[in-house]
Amino acid sequence: MFQRIRRDISAVMERDPAATSRLMVFFCSPGLHAIWGHRQAHWLHCHGMKGFARFWAHINRFFTGVEIHPGAEIADGFFIDHGMGIVIGETTVIGENVTLYKGVVLGGTGKEQGKRHPTIGHNVVISSNAIVLGSITIGSNVKIGAGSVVLKDVPDNCTVVGVPGRVIVKDGARIFDETDLVEVEDGRCDDPVADAIDDLTARITVLEKALEKEKQQHADSSL
């Protein structure tokens, strides 16, 4: 137990630049407290005390702002940074060394039974307010950009952005095909759709100025 606690604190120290001491992390990290509270609730859930487990998870949510269903399976090295508003569903499975930021939702898409929440691989980073829905699989070493909505499986070693989420980097190489609107540079997490809209807006502005100039010239020649 103490070895696991040390690993939890080390994960915060490694990934949170605001963490300046282990003592501060121990007493002042709500994400860490949410993980510890979930482990207790999960133990109760697995030992048939599901009502008490839900009640304990509710207390955990009240104090930390993080809602984790007692049935969720979470491996070691899990790190929650600025955890307010995070929701993790009942059948979610999370691998080792996963990082979640504020407002992330690992949820379902309806009232179906059985496995209805995501399976997250190892070494995954899910940025603020991203939403991952349904019984889908997010591969290992995946990065999901802030505000993305992921509804389909994501292979290993990818970067995903946008609504709906789309892979823009895979195995360190940019992704570009005939259906993409713009090409993305390596290492960037920009939304290609948003970039394309910005480009179209700029072109429309240029065309409007040219049309206005043409109208003015026509008016001058009429005089």
pLDDT tens profile 184-221: 444 455 566 777 888 899 999 999 999 998 888 887 77
Q: Which residue type occupies 106?
A: L
Q: Which residue type occupies 84?
A: M
pTM: 0.76
What's the full length of the chain, in residues?
223
Q: How many CB atoms lie within 10 A of CB 160?
A: 26
| pLDDT for res 91 | 95
Of the two residues 175 and 94, the one the predictor is more confident about is 94
Q: What average pLDDT is seen over the chain?
A: 89
Rounded Cα gap, residues 223 and 107, in angstroms: 67
Residue 106 contacts residue 80 (beta carbons within 8 Å): no
Q: Residue 40, CB half-sphere, CA atoms under 13 Å: how many? A: 12
Average pLDDT over residues 119-147: 95
Q: Name all domains of the chain by residue range, CATH numbers in brackets.
A: 66-190 (2.160.10.10)
Nearest to 105 by CA among 121, 123, 84: 84
